[in-house]
Each structure stands twice: as C-alpha cells, then as structure tokens.
Structure 1
C-alpha cells in the first residue's frame, strides 16, 4: 500500500520511503455507481499495465454520470431524484470500499472527492441542480463515516469537486470537511478540486495548514486552452508554496463544453499536459477519456447537466484511447531522465506562448515543448548541453539539429509531423 507525503521543497510527491512519486491519475468519477466489480477489475488491470498510479473517484453519485442499470445510491432515494441524507445506504459504501480495496491491492492510490459542487449550496453546480444540497449539520458525521471506511487505504482526499467558492456558506462547508478529515487522518493528503479557469482560493482555505497541495483545472472549453500553462504558472507562484498539478485538462474525445461542435483530440490532451508540466505544475497530471469518467455504456442516456458535452463513447472503447499511453509515456520520460524541480524559463525568441521552456533548478537539464513544427530560438547559449528530441505522437527518440550564434541557441525544424519534446542534459 502506497503512502504519500509532500517533498521538503514543496514541489512534488514522494512515498514514505523518500522515492519521488509522479502523480499519474485517470478520471473515473462515476465508478461507485456505474461500474460492476467485474468491469472494475478489467479496467484496473489495463490501467495498471499502462503505468497509471492514481484514480480520481467521486465518493457520492456523480451528477452528470451516464445512465446505468445498476441501482447503487449512497442515500435513500426519493421520487424527485433527491436524497434523504439522514438515511445513509451502508451497502453502497461497503461496495465502494471493496472497489477501493481492489484498486489499492493493484498498486493505485485512490483520490476520493468528499463533496462535489452540487452537494454544497451557492456553488455554480448547486445553481443548476440544488435538490441534493447536503445539510450542513450532517457534513461532519458524513466525513467521519467516510474516514472510517476509506482512510485505512491511505487515500488522497479531494475535499471539493469542480467547485467555486461564491459565498461564506459554501466556504464553511469545505472548511469543515477539510478540517474534519485532516483531524481524523492527518496522514492522508488533502486538496481542492476546483472549477475550470478558477485562479483564486478563499483565504480561509488558502492559508489553512490542512491543505497539502494545489489542483487546478484547465478544462474543456476550446476557447481557453491557454489555461494549461497560465494556471500552472499561477498556482506554482502562490505565496504559500505547495505542489501543483492540472487535475482536469481537456479529456480525450470530450465534446467542447457548452455543447459546441467538436471534440478534443489525442494531440489536444497531450499538449495540455506537457504545457502544464513545463509551466510550474510538475507534480503530475490527470488524464480523462470521454466515456470513462461517466462510465458510459451503449444504449444509455447522457444528459446535458453541467457544462453540456456531446455524447461519450462506450467505456470499453474509451479505455483504449491512445492518449492514455501518451500520458503514461510522460511519466516514463520524467523517470528515465530523472526530471525534477523544474523552473519555467522566459527565454523563447518567438511570438507565442504555446512553446514552453523549463530547466531544473540546478540547470543540469532543460526541456522545450514544441506543439507545432518551427525553428526554435532561445535567448541563452546552451553549447555545453547534449540534446535529445522525442516525437511525442510516435514516442520515438531522435537527434536534434542545433546551432549557436550570438549567445543564442537555435533548433532547426525537425522531420516529425506533430509535437516534440527537446531535452538538453548538461555535459559533465
């Protein structure tokens, strides 16, 4: 069983034995309500083979999950679709614990959401669907029950799910939940999964010693994909240093939010990840496939609750999307090249922010992500570095064409057809 802690420099995760842990998560919000145990076992085996090590799951029913024939509800269910939070379904949580146990036995760290936004009044989710706001007087007992069920597995607790913090009442809910779980199980790391493009946290949460690391969400709006690097820069430069990661970049084959025509490609989700990793959010990355997060099955409905996306793929098709292997490859690159303690560099001599440059804090390594083929010129002389270029679409390694002039470094156009990562290692 893996037990995580925060590194001394507040940049990444490590195990209790001091080994760096690259957070590579998959998004499976709807698992507890929509997946059978047999399906769950098959899924776990496949993601384990790929190298994923964290699973992000909503403890309660996901408000925009796909329809399911299964009848697993966390609380007594009323005809109007609302829950009686005073009548908990213990069998639901026992089954959820069994699923967590299965995942932990296969080497995964569960990252469990305590309260998705629709369960908390005044949030944007509650404005859309407010029939399932949990009464504030039940939050502490609910968290204590969750702690009893799951904390023995050393999970990460995502105290909030896709939330904003518009009022003191909403902040009170999340402050209470975070304080309670941390008092009960201080060994479990805590964070806040927040709404897409949100940059600011309330002072009460931001300054709390109970918050261990930052999550941000660049999200699924095609007009704001620059958030992948803008939010990474923002959270890595907060006054209180904590590890940061993009917990919800655009999902592979997800329809654009607001029901706009189009879907995010394998390239789109790969670009979002690399831009985040090289812009300050090096602690890890989360993948999502449209059909896995909602655990969709053919013939079942998928509503327009929330951000309104096009229909998902069947989960057994979505689990095989090639982009998951791209994310697994990112983790492998970080491990093979022993990449850590990255600092974004503003040395690119080109009128774009899409190309991202970073170096290790000891300047022994430099990384350049180039989404579209072009000549890359850096305002820095890197003559004493050996360079490797990686074709990220085909996952191939090659040699770079690099020249030096006027205290600048120039990388000529390469022969690959998609995005590349250039890694420079300082010669000893």
Structure 2
C-alpha cells in the first residue's frame, strides 16, 4: 500500500508508526551504474534503512560522473565556474528518466521509500547557490512541465517529496519558484507527503510555504560551530507551538571535513543524531557518508571550484564510504528509540550538569538521557534518585549495555565504564 499519513508529530505508513531512517544518495540518478545501484540498495536495506534521499536532477556538488546522462539536453559546456553545463529545460530527456525509473523499481522491490528532491537550490534564482552554480538557472516557464512529468511518472512508487534542496528563500522570485513546484506536484500526486529541505543551520522558511509542508525538516549541517542547531532548531519550533513531525534530514556526514578541521567521525554523527531525536526531531533522522552522497570514485573531481569557499575535503571512494560504521549506529538508534518510545516522547527542557549538549526526553514511564562524553551525571533536577528509579546504560560506541553505580548521595551516577558517549535510561519505580 505504502500510504503515508501524519498524526500529530509522527509519520505513519500503512497505519503503523514509521520512524524515518534515510540514507543520503543525492547523486543516484546521474552517477551510479545499475549494477552498483543494486549492490548499494541491498547493502543499505540490510542495515535497516527505510528511505533513500535522491536529487531528481544533477547534484551541483557531486563527484565527477561517468554515465554522461542528464535530465535535459546539454546545449553548451564550458569551464565557466568549473565544469559548466547549460541545459535546455524545455526538453525532457526520456532516456534519463527511464533509467531513474529502473532504479526506483529496485527500491520498490526492497520496500524502501524514495525521497525525491524536486528542485535543488542551484536551479533557482536568488538562492545562496545561485551565486556559485555550475549550471544555468531553471526557466520559470518550464517548471510546471517538468514537475508534472516527474510526479505523474513516479507517483506509483509512493515517494516522499522534498520540494526544495539546500535552499534559502531570500527573494519573492525564489518563493514563487517553489510555490509553483509545490502546487504542480500536489496537483498530480495529492496523497504524497511534502516538505522543504532547507540550507544548513537554518529554520527560515516563508510562512506560506511552511504551512504547505506536511512536516518540518532541517539540516544541522557540516560545520563545527553549528552543531548545536541539531537540538536548538527543534526546541525552538516546539516552544513556538509547532505540532507536526520534525526531522533532521542532514546531520553532519560521516568523514566530511569542515574548513580547517578534522573529519567528523561516527562519534560526532551519533551525537548529532541522538541530540536531534531527543530534542523534538523525533519523527526520524538521516545519515550521510562522505563519498556515498556524491558517489565518489578515487581520482574523480569533486567540483573544486565550488568547494574552494567551503573547503570540504575530498570524499572517500564510495566502496569504502558505504561501509563506514556510523550507518550501523543509525540503525541501532532507530531500533533503540522505537523500543524505548513506541508511543512517542517529549523533550525535557532542562539542563543537566550545566551542559546543553546533554539531551533528555521522557514519557510517563521513563527518562532517556544522551551524554556525549563520559561524565558523572547529577539527575536530581529530574526529581530522580536511587530510591525512585531503576537505571540502564548503553555504551553507544560498542552498542552494548553496561553497568553504573550511584554515588553515596543517591542523586548522581558515577562515571560510566565506557569511553565515548552513552544513553542512560531511568525507569520510574
């Protein structure tokens, strides 16, 4: 059936709660051979992912592609701003979308949901990418033709739609583009779920577009100084009365390196993901491996012109990136979170140990606390102690249970027997 619904702050699929766990593969349709795609989908399916995030068009910052096939005819190529492509948006390349459909059929075979980006920000005037883009902007007059074509053709695969990709909305023209895309898609696929994928560290979206979205997505992004947005954005939304589902659909990619810094490891990815889901973005979370999203082969280009400003390091070869351990951590998060909170949870607006990085959520039976580093933890602000609760601890690096003890005062947990981050579950007696 693959029928999606929104009930309060949760997503349901075929009448059952659905925790959105997506892998990020923006470049799937332009960069991946069919044999590699089959291998990739099977691998992620076995890891427990249930969604794959894909750009319907060419990803502007993908790695070099070898398929040499695009959704529209290329009318001119040049070295302007790197490898610059001028597309004829009036003509749809049926061969490209034939190939895309074959890939969607494989997802359908595995029961995975495609999450399709209709129009990434580099195709739209006014966006931050429009200052750097390596393609010509999309002609407004052809938006309806393109959007109607893809939604009519692909609706049978029951996708979720990202109307925008990595987008800000600085001008009326920008908003008009996305309004046209949304209205056209909604006309041809009215039962699908729609949202807007925003640019990093942002929650800014015009009210009229936010009202159209079935749920709210944000990206905490890939810069060290902005990692607090993983919890700040959902907490702000809830404080303001937002009641629909919230998802961090672009936490930091595993092994991406922000400017002048070391690469994010699985530990940072875990931290961002757990901080998100325990702070109100509890409808799901996405994962990205640096080398899979851009589909990189060793020796390929990585749009160096664009990346001079951002400074991200070259990705790993996709064969290696696919096996990063952080993907297993995300599956563990999904199964653990679903087991702990089958009926949902409420973020606790309290600061423990004077560390905002420690995040907490609860239901009527328990508190679940994420600690990003191994410290003794005072739980007395929650009204809990050794007499009125039972404690369980999960070492998230090893994905195993471990044991801790209370200090003599009965209000503080001792330093845990694990080396990185942990999940503490406190059951009320």
TM-score interval (norm. to shorter): over 0.9
Classify the secondary structure of the residue corresponding to 2:54.
Answer: strand
Q: Deviation string for 1:46-90 (max 9, x for gaps)?
A: 111110000000000000110022111000012231111012111
How many angstroms does 1:40 deviate by? 0.5
Gaps of 5+ in 2: 78-84
- Structure 2 counterpart of 1:296: 296
TM-score, normalised by the number of residues in structure 2: 0.93
Within 5 A, what are the aligned runs for 1:14-413?
A: 14-16=12-14, 18-80=15-77, 81-129=85-133, 131-208=135-212, 211-256=213-258, 259-304=259-304, 305=306, 307-360=310-363, 363-378=364-379, 379-382=381-384, 383-402=387-406, 409-413=411-415
How many angstroms does 1:338 deviate by? 3.7
Q: 1:291 to 1:132 in 2, by over 3 A?
A: same
- Check whether the contact 2:60–2:134 (CA below 8 A) recurs between aligned residues: no
Q: Deviation string for 1:106-126 (max 9, x for gaps)?
A: 011100000000011110011
How many angstroms does 1:140 deviate by? 1.2
Distance 1:231 1:347 in 2: 16
Distance 1:290 1:126 in 2: 23
How many angstroms does 1:336 deviate by? 2.6
- Check whether the contact 1:207–1:240 (CA below 8 A) recurs between aligned residues: no
Q: 1:401 to 1:348 in 2, by over 3 A?
A: farther
Classify the secondary structure of the residue corresponding to 1:69.
Answer: coil
Q: Deviation string for 1:180-239 (max 9, x for gaps)?
A: 21222121100000001112211221233xx10000010001111111111121233444
How many angstroms does 1:146 deviate by? 0.7
TM-score, normalised by the number of residues in structure 1: 0.94
Classify the secondary structure of the residue corresponding to 1:273.
Answer: helix
- Number of paired residues? 416
- Check whether the contact 2:167–2:197 (CA below 8 A) recurs between aligned residues: yes
Classify the secondary structure of the residue corresponding to 2:126.
Answer: coil
Deviates more, 1:233-242 or 1:394-403: 233-242
Classify the secondary structure of the residue corresponding to 1:341.
Answer: coil
- Check whether the contact 1:163–1:194 (CA below 8 A) recurs between aligned residues: yes
Distance 1:238 1:50 in 2: 36
Distance 2:127 2:388 in 1: 53
How many angstroms does 1:340 deviate by? 4.0
Q: Deviation string for 1:273-296 (max 9, x for gaps)?
A: 000011110000000000000001
Distance 2:350 2:126 in 1: 43
- Structure 1 counterpart of 2:11: 13
Q: 1:191 to 1:123 in 2, by over 3 A?
A: same
Gaps of 5+ in 1: none
Q: 1:196 to 1:340 in 2, by over 3 A?
A: farther
How many angstroms does 1:358 deviate by? 1.1
